[in-house]
């Protein structure tokens, strides 16, 4: 900053600081080799999902005018084999990534948003309000996730949105608990008292101090939750609660089961969607762990 007499505006300062923080974060993230692997896998799947309309012709997924014969083992024309209608499993997996990723992200957004809101509020207002919120959270927490999701999915219309809501509503209590615990820890720090003594109100403290300090945890939790949301989506679709009109990994697995693929040894029908689910979940988990590590202040000490 030498030689520049001009006073930088606060906004420029904030930008500069954010850039610094980001580059620091990336430097620390890079140290986790598994995290880089996860990130690569993730980028691959996201690109795949975005490029799906270019890779798969609309007619290729039609049940009635399927391009190949049914139950074909892997061959150059259909590298992963075909399903009971004669559709290429590669096409199904590529197309299915769209639904799986969308549902995964949206459901995570819902549950993390809700969980963070409830968690911070319950942690900040220590009185009756906080206690009531936590009781509600506990109630949701002990509800068996799958049962609630199944119930919701049956009551509401069978669409992708329903699945998002079902997963979002059942997954938030864990986040809320986690965020509340972290909020309590942050609220006990002396800088909160300093902020109060400066005249800061509840909103100020929650937004300016608590939120930034729980955000790393939330971010790590988000990446982990995406993985479990994708699994949950597949589970619901596998149980036949998904939108029958769309192609998803869970739905494909469910079709395979119904078609008797398990007993008739048509392994290529089961393996690709299963592996895709596992790979995406693994990628997100690896990323989540690396984010957690990169944001851990202890690992930052070394500078």
Partner 1 sequence: MTTRTGSAVDGPAATAPAVLAARGVSVRFAARGGGGVVRAVDDVDLRVGPGEIVALVGESGCGKSTLARTLLGLERPSGGSVLFKGEPLGYRARELKAYRRRVQLVPQDPGGSLDPRHSVYEAVAEGLRVHHGTLPDEAVRVERALSRAGLRPPERFFLRYPHELSGGQRQRVVIAGALVLEPEAVVADEPVASLDASVRGEILALLLRLRAELGLSALVVTHDLGLAWNIADRVAVMYLGRVVEAGPVEEVLTAPRHPYTRALLSVLPDASAATPTILTGEPPDPARVPPGCRFHPRCPVLASGAAAEAGVAHRCGAEDPGPLPEAPGHGAACHYAAVTAERPEAGNR
Q: 238 Cβ partners below 8 Å, 6+ apart? A: 250, 251, 253, 254, 257
185 scored as a contact of partner 1 (CB under 8 A):
no
> Around Cβ 78, how many Cβ atoms within 10 Å?
22
15 scored as a contact of partner 1 (CB under 8 A):
no
128 scored as a contact of partner 1 (CB under 8 A):
no
CA distances from 62 to 65, 66, 88, 185, 250 (A): 6, 6, 11, 54, 18
23 scored as a contact of partner 1 (CB under 8 A):
no
CA distances from 40 to 74, 100, 271 (A): 26, 18, 22
Q: Which stretch binds partner 1 (CB under 8 A): 11-19, 58-66, 138-146, 257-265?
A: 11-19
The one among 208, 258, 264, 275 contacting partner 1 by CB under 8 A: 208
The one among 15, 20, 31, 57 contacting partner 1 by CB under 8 A: 20
Q: Which stretch binds partner 1 (CB under 8 A): 15-23, 103-111, 157-165, 281-289?
A: 15-23
297 scored as a contact of partner 1 (CB under 8 A):
yes
The one among 68, 206, 209, 273 contacting partner 1 by CB under 8 A: 209
191 scored as a contact of partner 1 (CB under 8 A):
yes
> Around Cβ 46, how many Cβ atoms within 10 Å?
15
| Cβ neighbourhood burial of 195 (10 Å; 0-12, 13-18, 19+) | middle
**Nearest to partner 1 of 64, 298 (CB atom):** 298
Query: What kind and span of H or E run contains 88?
Result: none
Compute the least distance from the CB of residue 176 to partner 1, in Å.
Answer: 22
The one among 74, 86, 200, 293 contacting partner 1 by CB under 8 A: 200
Q: How many residues in the shown chain lie near partner 1 by CB under 8 A?
A: 28
Q: How far apart are CA 54 and CA 248, in angstroms?
A: 18
CA-nearest of 213, 289, 280, 288 to 46 is 280
Binding site for partner 1 (CB under 8 A): 1, 7-10, 13, 16-17, 20, 189-191, 193-201, 204, 208-209, 212-213, 297, 300
């Amino acid at each position: 900053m030498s030689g520049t007499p001009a006073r930088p505006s606060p906004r420029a300062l904030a930008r500069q600081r954010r850039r610094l923080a980001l580059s620091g974060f990336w430097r620390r993230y890079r140290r986790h080799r598994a995290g880089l692997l996860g990130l690569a896998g993730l980028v691959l799947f996201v690109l795949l999902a975005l490029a799906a309309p270019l890779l798969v012709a609309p007619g290729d997924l039609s049940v009635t005018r399927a391009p190949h014969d049914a139950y074909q083992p892997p061959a150059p024309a259909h590298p992963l084999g075909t399903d009971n209608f004669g559709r290429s499993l590669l096409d199904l997996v590529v197309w299915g990534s769209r639904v799986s990723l969308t549902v995964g992200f949206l459901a995570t957004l819902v549950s993390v948003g809700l969980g963070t809101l409830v968690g911070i509020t319950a942690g900040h207002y220590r009185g009756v309000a906080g206690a009531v919120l936590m009781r509600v959270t506990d109630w949701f927490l002990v509800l068996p996730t799958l049962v609630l999701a199944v119930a919701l999915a049956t009551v509401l219309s069978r669409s992708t949105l329903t699945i998002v809501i079902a997963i979002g509503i059942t997954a938030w209590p864990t986040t809320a608990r986690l965020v509340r615990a972290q909020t309590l820890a942050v609220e006990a720090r002396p800088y909160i008292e300093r902020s109060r003594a400066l005249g800061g109100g509840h909103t100020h403290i929650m937004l300016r101090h608590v939120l930034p300090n729980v955000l790393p945890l939330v971010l790590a939790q988000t990446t982990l939750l995406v993985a479990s949301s994708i699994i949950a989506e597949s589970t619901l679709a596998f149980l036949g609660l998904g939108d029958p009109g769309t192609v998803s990994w869970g739905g494909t697995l469910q079709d395979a089961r119904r078609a008797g693929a398990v007993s008739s040894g048509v392994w290529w029908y089961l393996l690709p969607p299963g592996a895709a689910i596992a790979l995406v979940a693994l990628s997100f988990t690896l990323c989540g762990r690396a984010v957690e590590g990169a944001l851990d202040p202890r690992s930052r000490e070394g500078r």
